[in-house]
Structures are given as C-alpha cells and as structure tokens.
Amino acid sequence: MKSVGLSLLVWLTLIFSPPLQARCIGVVTAGGGPDYWQFVEQGAKQAGRELGVGVVVGGAADEINTEGQRTVIRSILSAGCKAVVLAPNSPELKKDVAMLKAQGIPTVFVDRDYGGDRVSVIKTANFSAGEVAAHEMQKVLGTGGKVALLRMDKSVLPSTLREDGFAKVAGEAGLDIVIEVYLCTMVEEERATAYSVLKQHPNIDGVFTPNQSTSVAVLKALQQLGRAGKVVHIGFDSHPSVIEGVRNGEVYGFVLQQPFVMGYKGVYAAYYAMRGIPFQQVIDVPVRFVDRTNINDSDVRKALGIEASD
C-alpha cells in the first residue's frame, strides 16, 4: 500500500468557506510547476469566497500522472462536490468527464483543452504564446542564432503547443534550432538531462523552455555549467529562482501566464454550470513577456504575487 501511495503522488486540501453541507466545487491541478498551480488554487479560493461555495483542491505532482488525477477526482466527489474544474493531463480523461456529465456533474477545463464534454475552457492560447517567445529570442539573436528547443514531454498538450509555436516562428525568423530534445516532467531529471545536452553543445546562443519546471531545471543546469547569463534563456511561467534570474541577468525573460485568472474564472464557470446559467465556452487568457525592463512594473509585480514592500 505504501508504494502505491507514493507512486500516485497526489495532494489534497479541503477549503470550505460555507458550512460543509453546502455544495462544493472541486479543482484538480496538474504537475509541471507547483508555484504555478498555487496561483490557480488562490484564484479558485478567491472565487469560492465571493460565491459562498466550498472549494476542494488537489492534484498530481507529476504532469503525466493520469491515475493520480483520477484519484483526486474520486476524492472530491466523495467530499460532495457537484462540479469539477480540471487541468487534464491526458486525453484519456475525456472518458471521466463523460461519466461525470452522466452523473449531472459539469466539468470546466483550465490551462489546456482536450475537447469532449467539458462545458467551458479557460486557458492560455499556448501556440501563440510560444510564438511570442520566439519573437523575443529573434530580437536578441537576430538571424542565424543557434538555439536549443528543450521540450518537456510530447504527451503534455500545453507545453507541446508552446514548443511548436516557438519552432514555427524561430524557423521563419531565421533562428537555427540545433538542439531539440525532450527533458521529461520532473525538475531534477530535467536538470540532469539539460546539463548533459548543453554540456555537449557549448556554442548555443539561446535556449527556450516551455514551462515552469523546465525553466527552473535549465537555469540550474546553466548555472552548474557556468553559462547562466551567457546563453539567452527565455522561459515560461514565474518561479522565485527564475524571477531572481531575470533580475541578475541569468535569465533573459519569460512568458507570464495568468494562472490566478484561470482558477478564478474556472470556479465561476463551474458555479454557473451547476445552476444551468450560460458562461463563455472558451476564454483565452492573455500572456505577457517579462524581462529586466518591466519586471518591477506594478502590474507585473501584482501578477507575480510580489508585495509592494519586497
């Protein structure tokens, strides 16, 4: 039993604003960067407080742990939730969503979309976000810059879309993608793979990483190699080490999503669905590119969750 529990790597917290007998909404996150999902949770809890509805939050630690997400779904249904906000980590979960629908439980997707019987989707336009990163890389390196595209895992839809968007614009802009490998889904394994790959290619001008865990892992690898700040590193999503990297010049910049907004609007969409009230079916939440020129702007600091006194 112990080994099974460890292999699922799930966490679950119960946050009930109203009395327990009130209907609750379950929020199921994915892996790939805990700080990112903390913002989703914060947005969901804020919406729950405003609506006076309980919120149950849980997630799998590994981005590709489908059974872990199913375990969390079962747990939140046991808690009495009547709607689910889900960041699905596999198209297989469409079957689960169909079963939930048959039970009268609506599902809202956040962060990514696999189609199926979900009632609403709140996400980043991930392909376009990857294009943003490539445009910023081209501004720095110009035509002919040698770039590493360090992908995460081909089964993870949002990062794959970002990677493909980056590759498309990089090719059009004359950047030369000389490395294109998958790192996997856990930070330490990603760091080890990135270290090995980048050590073999000392003449790389730039590197793109498509999510929080790969951005942190590659920053660590570049630091270990003594090349942080010498390679133009453009990442995705905020993390304390990445934010500090931008400030000290070790990271050129990163694409900032709005996970708080996804959690917040996801709970609102689920709440409306429970009551049969129409809600916008697809919402693409805007992104912003953050670098040393704007990281201290008040709106960026707010999006990063940085207090004014910091």
Tokens of 6: 């460890």
Tokens of 41: 């949770």
| Choices 3.40.50.2300, 3.30.420.10, 3.90.730.10, 3.20.10.10: CATH for 2-124+258-286 | 3.40.50.2300
Band of pLDDT at residue 35, cut at 50, 70 and 90: confident
Question: What is the mean pLDDT of the segment spanning 193-220?
Answer: 95
- Decide if pLDDT at 102 tops 60: yes
**Is the pLDDT score of 92 beyond 80?**
yes
N-terminal to C-terminal alpha carbon distance within the chain: 45
What are the structure tokens assigned to 276, written together? 């049969």
* Residue ranges of domains in the chain: 2-124+258-286, 126-256
Whether 2-124+258-286 and 126-256 share one fold: the answer is yes
| Claim: this prediction has a pTM higher than 0.75 | yes
Distance CA 64, CA 153 (A): 9
Which residues, including other chains, have CB under 8 Å from residue 278's CB and lie 6 or more apart?
272
pLDDT value at position 177?
A: 97
Q: What is the CA radius of gyration of the chain?
A: 20
More confident residue, 174 or 185: 174
CA 308 remoteness from chain centre: 25
**Model pLDDT, residue 308:** 42
Domain 126-256 has CATH 3.30.160.60: no
**Residues 228-250 pLDDT 10s:** 999 999 999 999 999 999 999 99
Sheet with strand 206-208: strands edge to edge:
176-182, 146-151, 206-208, 232-236, 253-256, 288-291
Question: Taking the C-alpha atoms of 187, 190, 195 and 198 in order, what is their torsion angle to the nearest 10 degrees?
Answer: -130
Give percent of the chain with pLDDT exceeding 70.
91
